[in-house]
Amino acid sequence: MENTSGVGVLDKATTILGALEAGPSSLAALVAATGLARPTVHRLAVALERHRMVARDLQGRFVLGPRLGELSAAAGEDRLLGVSGGVLARLRDVTGESAQLYRRQGEARICVAAAERLSGLRDIVPVGVTLPMQVGAAAQILLAWEEPERLHRGLRGARFTATALSGVRRRGWAQSVGEREPHVASVSAPVRAPSGQVVAAVSVSGPIERLTRQPGAHYSQAVVEAATRLSAALGHGGQGGQGGQGGRG
């Protein structure tokens, strides 16, 4: 085994992950590709699956898991935060409403950047505040593209449904009216990494009396455009808003 670290189990697990870089693989194919004993490959692959480093496709083959994408996204966080200030300020100026950027952390979402409306009635969300994943447009966005098991687990106690998330994925944005706070509405869209994974949600929020009870009709285009700019800054070549979901409000 090349590039050994001296920690055998780690070297073997890394070898399995390296083999999966080529694409989905059955247990037999993994054994052949790694040269490891079949019981060892099975034990380590199942353990990696437990930690979401490895997953299974519809045919039951092993594939690289979603946790690797999440770690990759976290590595790119500085770039995202570096460009978010200007994009959020522009979104605020275009819409006249407060703009926020959210990332998921465990079973919550965190506001990592914001551009607040300078005057008048506004929805202030301080940077660093932790909000639940059961309410709001941003929560919908951050949950909509999760793998099925995590998605269904996230729907427990949520104010939105699986059908609502399906609609978010189809149209590429989410709206929320009175979910987080009784008088607040919001619109959100997904920010994507180069792999296409949703790594953040960009939102505008404000009083329902200004955003109305159909905020998406008025603000979705501007929010999707902001998400597209942030996605492009991360190296994603597609439309940053496609397949989005959720929101905060």
pLDDT at residue 129 greater than cutoff 70? yes
pLDDT digit string, tens, across residues 7-61: 989 999 999 999 998 889 999 999 999 999 999 999 999 999 999 999 998 889 9
Distance in angstroms between the alpha carbons of the first and the last residue of the chain: 53
pLDDT at residue 244 greater than cutoff 70? no
pLDDT at residue 246 greater than cutoff 60? no
Calculate mean pLDDT across residues 139-143. Answer: 97
Among residues of the chain, what percentage have pLDDT more than 90?
Answer: 67
How far apart are alpha carbons 101 and 29 in whole angstroms? 42
How far apart are alpha carbons 106 and 104 in whole angstroms? 6
- Give the pLDDT of residue 164: 95
Tokens coding 100: 């926020």
- Give the pLDDT of residue 239: 45
Are the beta carbons of 101 and 210 closer than 8 angstroms?
A: no
Among residues of the chain, what percentage have pLDDT more than 70?
Answer: 91
pLDDT at residue 72 greater than cutoff 80? no
Mean pLDDT of the chain: 88
Element containing residue 40 per DSSP (H, E): helix 38-50
pLDDT digit string, tens, across residues 208-231: 999 999 999 999 999 999 999 999
Are the beta carbons of 118 and 225 closer than 8 angstroms?
A: no
Q: Which of 186, 90, 67 is nearest to 138 (CA)?
A: 186
Within 87-246, strands assigned E span 98-105, 108-115, 130-132, 174-177, 184-192, 198-207
pLDDT at residue 142 greater than cutoff 60? yes
Calculate mean pLDDT across residues 102-118. Answer: 90
pTM of the model: 0.68
